[in-house]
């Protein structure tokens, strides 16, 4: 059994999606995360997502519940608020329109 990594927990969990989208898929937006994380075979087996296939599978196994636009927007709000309240800067800057900056 794989052990879930102990970093990027709580409000930082949204960073996993940022890595997936930016580094594996090459998109600087979280707009299509609900579709990609849905588990639909037609999406998962898409040729364009082949390089990210294992990463998508791993994130789905981590049980990150980002399958709706609202859940992603809420996670982004929590992430940004967490860093605002603690006067810190996160690994990623994510604006209100769910774009990676």
Asked, for residue 78, whether it belongs to a domain, the answer is yes
Could you give the CA distance from residue 37 to residue 66 in angstroms, rounded to a whole number? Answer: 7
The answer as to whether 19 is a domain residue is yes
Give the Å distances, CA to CA, from 82 to 3, 14, 89: 26, 12, 9
Number of compact structural domains in the chain: 1
Task: Give pLDDT, residue 100.
Answer: 63
For residue 35, the model assigns a pLDDT of 87
* Mean pLDDT in order along the chain per 10 residues (101 residues): 71 89 91 86 87 89 79 91 93 76 55
- On whether residue 2 sits in a domain, the answer given is no
User: Does residue 93 belong to any structural domain of this protein?
Assistant: no
| pLDDT of the residue at 2 | 63
Is residue 4 one of the residues assigned to a domain?
A: no
CA separation (Å) from 78 to 11, 12, 23, 70?
Answer: 6, 9, 23, 12
Q: Which two tokens stand for residue 49?
A: 């997502």
* Burial tier of 72 (Cβ tally within 10 Å: 0-12, 13-18, 19+): buried
Q: What is the pTM of this model?
A: 0.82
- 């927990």: which residue's tokens? 9
Asked whether residue 94 is assigned to any structural domain, the reply reads: no
């Amino acid at each position: 059994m794989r052990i879930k990594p102990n970093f990027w927990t709580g409000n930082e969990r949204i960073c996993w999606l940022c890595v997936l989208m930016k580094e594996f898929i090459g998109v600087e937006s979280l707009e299509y995360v609900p579709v990609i994380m849905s588990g639909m075979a037609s999406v998962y087996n898409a040729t364009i997502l082949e390089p990210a296939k294992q990463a998508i599978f791993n994130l789905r196994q981590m049980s990150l519940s980002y399958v709706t636009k609202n859940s992603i927007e809420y996670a982004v709000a929590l992430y940004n608020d967490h860093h605002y309240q603690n006067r810190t800067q996160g690994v990623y800057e994510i604006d209100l329109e769910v774009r990676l900056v």
